[in-house]
Structure 1
């Protein structure tokens, strides 16, 4: 089932305002459980986790910054 443009906008806001801060807290806690690895390892883990969170939500964020494709043009 495909989400409408408005539904994708709403879900993207929920993901960015609620989900991303929670994910950041979990990522920091996960790295802290590694007993403070070297800075290079820590950087690689953060970069990997930073990319990993966006993969499942790629379809939700696609096209959000563009105009609503279902909206009627008022320029006529």
Structure 2
């Protein structure tokens, strides 16, 4: 079942406002469990973790910045 535009917008906002800070805390905690790696290895780990989070969530974010495809054109809408 495909998500509607409004649902994807709401989910993307929820992911960015709630999920992203939680993911950042989890990533820093995970890296902190090990002895501090070299700068370059640590950088690679954080870059990889920064890319990995979007892979399962990509369908939610696709097209969210575009106008609502289900909305009526401005000409057909009734003025309030």
Same fold (TM over 0.5): yes
Q: Which 4+ stretches in 1 moved above 4 angstroms?
A: none
* Equivalent pairs, count: 76
Query: 1:45: which partner in 2?
Result: 45
Q: 2: CA distance between counterparts of 1:33 and 1:48? A: 17
Give the RMSD, CA atoms, in angstroms: 0.8
Specify the SS of the correspondent of 2:69.
Answer: coil
TM-score of the aligned structures, taking structure 2 as reference length:
0.92
Gaps in structure 2 of 5+ consecutive residues = none
Gaps in structure 1 of 5+ consecutive residues = none
- Computing the radius of gyration from Cα coordinates, the structure with the larger value is 2
TM-score of the aligned structures, taking structure 1 as reference length:
0.96
Query: 2:68: which partner in 1?
Result: 68
Q: Render the CA deviation track for 1:1-21: whole Å, top value 9, x for unaligned.
A: 100000000000000000000
Specify the SS of the correspondent of 1:41.
Answer: helix
Q: 2: CA distance between counterparts of 1:42 and 1:68? A: 40
Query: 1:3: which partner in 2?
Result: 3
